[in-house]
Amino acid sequence: MSDGGADERGTSTELAAHRCPNGHLTYPDHAVCPECGAEQTETVDLSERIGEVVTWTESTATPPGVRTPNIITIVEFDVEGASVRVIGGATDDVETGDPVRPVYVEQLRDPDAGIRHPDSHGWDGFRFEPVE
């Protein structure tokens, strides 16, 4: 993601989970750790890790600027005994329990088609690809 250290060429980028000194992990980041109120001081890059599909849906009624159909999945990663969940699209059909890996995508939806201001946040990020 653009907040996770994407360089200007977009060739090396992180899927960053954020950690506080008490070991709580979140994706995305927050002003303070929602669990304990401490500052989130570290990031953990999930982009090279394998996660597991918790649930998924295939949405056929998508808003302006979004692909149709849009398969969306919640993926859980294990980080040294702590777990963190990430939401994102899937590149292909997935099933609950499937192992998946993050794949970087430069533009996830058309920034100019929806109601959100195009400059208010980044439009790149990760989708999830089933691991064979």
When the beta carbons of 37 and 64 are compared against another protein, the nearer one is 64
**CA dist 50 to 76, 77, 116, 129, Å?**
9, 7, 31, 10
Distance of closest approach, residue 81 Cβ to another protein, in angstroms:
16
Tokens of 8: 């200007």
Residue 7 or 95 having the CB closest to another protein: 95
Residue closer to another protein (CB basis): 26 or 47: 26
Interatomic CA distance for residues 33 and 89, integer angstroms = 25
What is the distance, to the nearest Å, from the Cα of residue 71 to the centroid of all Cα atoms in its chain? 14
**Side-chain half-sphere exposure of 78, counting CA atoms within 13 A:** 4
Selected binder of another protein within 70, 91, 101, 130 (CB under 8 A): 70
Q: Which of 6, 33, 44, 86 binds another protein (CB under 8 A)?
A: 86
Interface residues toward another protein, by CB under 8 A: 1, 26-28, 34, 54-67, 70, 72-74, 85-89, 96, 108-109, 114-116, 120-123, 125
